[in-house]
A = this chain, B = another copy of it.
Amino acid sequence: MTDPVPHRTENCLKISQVLSRIGDKWSVLIIMSLRSRTMRFSELKRGIDGISQRMLTLTLRNLERDGLVTRTVTPSIPPRVDYELTPMGHSLAEPVEALGTWAFQHIDRIAGAQARYDSEEL
């Protein structure tokens, strides 16, 4: 039998490349927002508290580059820009949502653990 560790390490590296790109919080919040429907830039900006225009533009462009989001421009006056998850984006939304649900369910326990840790450190 061969040692499984080198293989696992290689997988971990590949995975870490993807995770570091899709795992940032703005990408996660955009993907979760687009899960239910197509949205305009201004709707995304309103729905995601604290995101700057620049960061939203940048993150959407990266998601589009990754093949997770499509950007459709309707040449009206003013032009209308819609963002939508691709089928691959929808398939990513499922594990992302599971992680988001976990985070929401455990945020109070995590805060409690942190308070205990910090008081023990004194």
Contact = CB atoms under 8 A, between A and B. Distances in A.
A66 B91 CA distance: 29
Interface string A94-113: 11101111111011011011
Given A8-B47, A47-B5, A66-B114, A107 B14 contact: yes
Contact of A23 (B25, B98, B114): B25
A58 interface: no
A100 B19 contact: yes
Interface residues of A, number: 54
| Interface of A, helix, strand, loop or mixed by DSSP | helix
A88 B106 CA distance: 8
State the copy count for this chain.
2
A32 interface: yes
B29 A103 contact: no
Given A15-B107, A23-B28, 10 more contacts: A5-B47, A19-B99, A19-B103, A23-B24, A66-B113, A66-B114, A67-B117, A88-B109, A88-B113, A95-B98
Contacts of A98: 94-95, 98-99
Contact of A14 (B8, B102, B104): B104
A7 to B, nearest CB: 11
